[in-house]
């Protein structure tokens, strides 16, 4: 059977480039002519293999009158249960001049509620052998706990509390703002490529859309924030009709439904519509930039191509392309730049898709004595080779197998299945 590796729509003719360069303590960026096209690849014969049977991810779905969408997946083979709440708000929804708000709220949501004192989530989970955490992306913020099944009700109560009764006072706000600022210093300012990867690259690639704002925020924006800004952000986005509640594990369905109705059913939405934040990015021409940093030991180069959003049918082909380029030491980028040419200490790619946009990145950290231009040329040569020379059956089969195996490993646990469901719903 013939299989197209990737289509013209997958990787646009426009090319962006971003480079981090260390000469004179610099971080630099580069992009070449817009006429370069990395489009429809050749066709290859798919390696013959027995079909992989993926068990269905069974779940029940319902929507409460207040708009909260509930998904439950029962598994009596485990003694645990996971509770996850996914809010449709991320860094792209940060207000202008208030970058980092979604991320700061990830911290504030672990503080007090009307009926729960501070740090209760740790006590409710860790003290019974469970765990809790949260994460903030460009499109989503999610909160999740895994505990023994007999503690399910208290986790539902706790999640309903921070959705409907969060208490943010001046002391909590100041404390968490300081925590986030320190995180910024450690992850952005102190690491060699932190400024480039977390600030400059994103703002350079996305110049029109809200994805240009750094998820971790900025010291200036955090300092400018007020507690009124924080309360307004929570009221705007942390509401039942902007959330998914996912429960997976060992539970009685009727009892679970009753608890959810009791704890979440009475939470009201604010009397205003959800804001719509959909500003398209116009990748009109190729562009380049150079960034400098005081603690960059070696040049880093990056080329970025605009691709497609998460729900586009070409996403799977781009995942395969990404795997062929950079999964493992046998990948094309590693073999070319690190092993054969020995011009880079590392070489990688990433296929990143959000709700509204997607990009394919290729990057390398250069070896001492080698220039950013060498790295850019080598990265571009490997992507050109993908276009001009069909990949081998072995490469295609290996990339597909690794992707499927990774997906299956993620479904082995109840929290992994809940994550897979939540991410699919949001995106």
Which residues are known to be catalytic?
Answer: 106
Distance, in Å, from the CA atom of 134 to the CA atom of 40, rounded to the nearest integer, reads 39
CA dihedral 289, 290, 295, 296 (to 10 degrees): 100
The answer for 100, left when phi > 0, alpha when psi is -120 to 50, beta otherwise, is left
CA angle (397, 314, 17) in 5-degree steps: 95
DSSP readout, 272-341? SPPP---------S----EE--TT--S-EEEEEEE---TTSTTHHHHHHHHHHHHSSTTSHHIIIIIIIS
Distance, in Å, from the CA atom of 273 to the CA atom of 239, rounded to the nearest integer, reads 11
Which tokens in the block code for residue 423?
């991410």
Distance, in Å, from the CA atom of 323 to the CA atom of 402, rounded to the nearest integer, reads 8
Distance, in Å, from the CA atom of 284 to the CA atom of 296, rounded to the nearest integer, reads 31
């Amino acid at each position: 059977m013939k299989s197209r590796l990737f289509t013209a729509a997958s990787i646009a003719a426009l090319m962006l480039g971003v480079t981090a360069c260390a000469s004179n303590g610099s971080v630099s960026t580069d992009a070449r002519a817009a006429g370069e096209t990395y489009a429809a690849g050749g066709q290859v014969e798919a390696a013959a293999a027995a079909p992989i049977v993926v068990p269905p991810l069974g779940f029940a779905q319902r929507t409460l009158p207040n708009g909260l969408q509930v998904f439950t997946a029962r598994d009596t083979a485990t003694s645990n249960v996971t509770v996850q709440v996914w809010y449709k708000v991320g860094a792209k929804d940060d207000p202008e001049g208030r970058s980092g708000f979604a991320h700061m709220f990830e911290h504030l949501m672990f503080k007090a509620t009307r009926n729960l004192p501070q740090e209760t989530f740790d006590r409710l989970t860790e003290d019974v052998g469970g765990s809790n955490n949260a994460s903030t992306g460009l499109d989503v913020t999610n909160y999740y706990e895994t505990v023994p099944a007999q503690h399910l009700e208290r986790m539902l109560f706790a999640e309903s509390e921070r959705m409907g009764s969060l208490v943010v006072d001046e002391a909590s706000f100041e404390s968490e703002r300081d925590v986030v600022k320190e995180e910024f210093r450690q992850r952005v300012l102190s690491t060699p490529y932190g400024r480039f990867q977390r600030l400059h690259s994103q703002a350079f690639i996305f110049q029109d859309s809200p994805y240009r704002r750094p998820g971790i925020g900025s010291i200036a924006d955090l300092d400018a924030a007020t507690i009124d800004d924080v309360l307004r952000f929570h009221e705007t986005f942390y509401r039942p009709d902007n959330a998914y509640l996912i429960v997976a594990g060992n539970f009685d369905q009727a009892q679970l439904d009753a608890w959810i109705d009791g704890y979440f059913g009475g939470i009201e939405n604010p009397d205003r519509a959800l804001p719509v934040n959909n500003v398209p990015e116009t990748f009109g021409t190729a562009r380049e930039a150079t960034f400098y940093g005081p603690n960059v030991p070696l040049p880093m180069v990056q080329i970025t191509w605009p691709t497609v959003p998460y729900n586009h049918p070409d996403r799977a082909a781009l995942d395969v392309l990404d795997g062929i380029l950079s999964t493992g030491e046998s990948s094309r980028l590693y073999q070319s730049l690190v092993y054969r040419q020995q011009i880079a200490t590392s070489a990688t790619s990433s296929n990143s898709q959000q709700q509204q946009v997607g990009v394919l990145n290729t990057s390398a950290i250069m070896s001492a004595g080698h220039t950013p231009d060498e790295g850019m040329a080598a990265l571009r040569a490997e992507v050109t080779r993908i276009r001009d020379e069909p990949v081998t059956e072995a490469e295609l089969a290996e990339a597909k197998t690794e992707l499927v195996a990774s997906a299956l490993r993620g479904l082995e646990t109840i929290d992994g299945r809940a994550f897979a469901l939540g991410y699919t719903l949001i995106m």
